[in-house]
A and B are shown apart, each in its own frame.
Chain A
Amino acid sequence: MILSNGERQSIIRRNQRIKLITFLGVLVLLIAIIVLVENMLLSSLLAFVMSYLLSPIANRLERTGVPRWLAVTMTFAGVSLFLFGFGFIIFPVLAEQISSFRLDVPKYIEGTTRLLNHIESRINALVGDFYAVNLSEQAEDILIAWTTSLFVDLPRVLSNSLTTLFLAPFIAFFLLKDGRAMTHRLFGLVPNYLFEFTLIVFHQVNDQMGHFIRARLLEALIVGLAVFLGLWAMGFPYAPLIGAFAGLTNLIPYVGPFIGAIPALAIALVNGESALTIGLALGVFGIAQLIDIFLLIPVIVAKIVDLHPLTVVIAIIIGAQLMGVLGMLISIPLASAFKVIFVNLYHHTLNFRA
């Protein structure tokens, strides 16, 4: 049977449409599973972070001639062993700090409220005739809500997500070992006319995410370490906890570093530390930020897609409204991924077929 050119083209177009719908359908299904199945979102996010962190190690091992599965297994075994040993040293310290801090929390809340009361009475003495300021009542509510969420919700989330803790490394292992084969299958569904484009965009986004996650975590680790060392040298209470918190909040651009300094400031003020101690503690945070801005960001973070500060802030707000703290953390990598995809789509439609 000889087909006319028009008939051929319509068969080609129909097949391409079917392939495209199947490809998009599989993508939507995967995203739906990740978002809708309980524990899946956090597990997959953690798994992605893990696989991005570990892939350079696995690749390096593979370069010595070890097969992929063995390289990945060795990487996981090595890292688990290291974390286990490290945990033996660090967990007792952190656990002790957290439990003693938990006992101290009411004292700090009360102290902060007292402090605010003091400020309030000063302000009211100045402007009370015109406008009554009532900081402490609101602040106490907020502080209690925050600390409950930190000490009640967090462990609950963590223990609820024992599933997550098992599922995430499990997914990460197979992402590292078979991720290539999985994406390969998925690419097999892409219609021919979109294939090269999909391949480029996928790899660009993948590279960007890898750089982003490795760079930001390394940055957070160094900032947290710097804060810890500085405070510890000063003999400041809860230095490891404050350092860990500062490192974690440093992952949130712009606002994170300020949030990171709040606990230390509150503790110092409530304990009635001298102005010198408070100044020194703030100096430690300042130095950590200077290291971050002038050393870490230019050297290790510079490769990341740059988003306009306004975009960053808007992305963080959207993330916070949709998913709370987790949303704040993942908003920036997601925004960068969208940027890479849209820039490429634009570039593609304009230039790919000149």
Chain B
Amino acid sequence: MVNFLWGNIFRHSRKDRHLQAILKECPLFEHLSAGELRFLAEIVHVRSYQPGEVVFFEGEIGVGMYIICHGEIEVYARYNDEEELVATLSAGDFLGESSLVEVESRRTATARAKQELKTIGFFKTDLKEITARSPLLGVKILTALGQVLALRLRATSEKIIELKQEVNRFKESRPTP
């Protein structure tokens, strides 16, 4: 739909506009102007995967994030030597963003394509290039990244509080010997 509406405004190819529309939906890039999105679209990497193909392995050094264009990603984490499905992500979702700022961070789960999958890869080196060529755009993206990471941190903290409360309730409910 969006492509159709933008059809006559930009002379860029349909594919690129589609790419920009997907980027615009990602919280990391939602504040960017049309020009900035065009700049970004030239920098990111579009990758295709076969069903069952691995996007990244748990334990691997991560160097960037992926946004799903279409298809689904299944995320597996290893518990006691057994792979367990922890999440299924679909178009518009993104993963791995913390590795954009972490040093030598390792992937905490394995991501595998469920069907034919197309992703947009955005990596540390891309972020570095953006800050070198357009620092203002770099600041915008880094601020948004900070907000995303803060939200994740808040969600994690809330989860911890919830779990603590549950542990306490469990302790209280147990009859004291």
Q: Please, which residues of chain B bring their CB within 8 A of the CB of A184?
A: 42, 45
**Which among B43, B45, B61, B133 is the interface contact of A62 at CB below 8 angstroms?**
B133
Q: Are B63 and A192 in contact (CB under 8 A)?
A: no
A236 within 8 A of B: no
Judged by DSSP, the binding face of B is mixed
Q: Are B123 and A63 in contact (CB under 8 A)?
A: no
B16 within 8 A of A: no
How far, in angstroms, from A199 to B55 measured CA to CA in the complex? 15
Q: Please, which residues of chain B bring their CB within 8 A of the CB of A12?
A: 50, 52-53
Q: Please, which residues of chain B bring their CB within 8 A of the CB of A351?
A: 61
On chain B, the number of residues with a Cβ less than 8 Å from chain A's Cβ atoms is: 30
On chain A, the number of residues with a Cβ less than 8 Å from chain B's Cβ atoms is: 27
Chain B, residues 128-167, CB within 8 Å of chain A (1/0): the string is 1100111100000000000000000000000000000000
Q: Which residue of A lies closest to B119 (CB)?
A: A192
Q: A352-B60, A353-B57, A353-B59 are in contact. Are A195 and B50 (CB under 8 A)?
A: no
B106 within 8 A of A: yes
Judged by DSSP, the binding face of A is helix
Q: Are A5 and B134 in contact (CB under 8 A)?
A: no
How far, in angstroms, from A192 to B61 measured CA to CA in the complex? 15
**Which among A5, A181, A196 is the interface contact of B52 at CB below 8 angstroms?**
A5
Q: Please, which residues of chain B bring their CB within 8 A of the CB of A187?
A: 45
A-B contact count (CB 8 A): 61
Q: A63-B133, A180-B42, A354-B106 are in contact. Are A196 and B63 (CB under 8 A)?
A: yes
Q: Please, which residues of chain B bring their CB within 8 A of the CB of A233?
A: none
Q: Please, which residues of chain A bring their CB within 8 A of the CB of B129?
A: 180
Q: Please, which residues of chain B bring their CB within 8 A of the CB of A68?
A: 133
A219 to chain B, nearest CB (A): 23
How far, in angstroms, from A196 to B121 measured CA to CA in the complex? 10
Q: Please, which residues of chain B bring their CB within 8 A of the CB of A15?
A: 50
Within 39-64 of B, Cβ neighbours of A (below 8 Å) are at 42-43, 45-47, 49-57, 59-64
**Which among B43, B51, B53, B132 is the interface contact of A192 at CB below 8 angstroms?**
B53
Extra inter-chain contacts (15) besides given A199-B45, A203-B128, A354-B60, CB under 8 Å: A3-B51, A5-B52, A8-B51, A9-B52, A11-B50, A15-B50, A187-B45, A188-B46, A192-B47, A196-B63, A196-B64, A199-B63, A199-B125, A352-B60, A353-B60
Q: Which of B's residues lie within 8 Å of A, judged by CB?
A: 42-43, 45-47, 49-57, 59-64, 106, 121, 123, 125, 128-129, 132-135
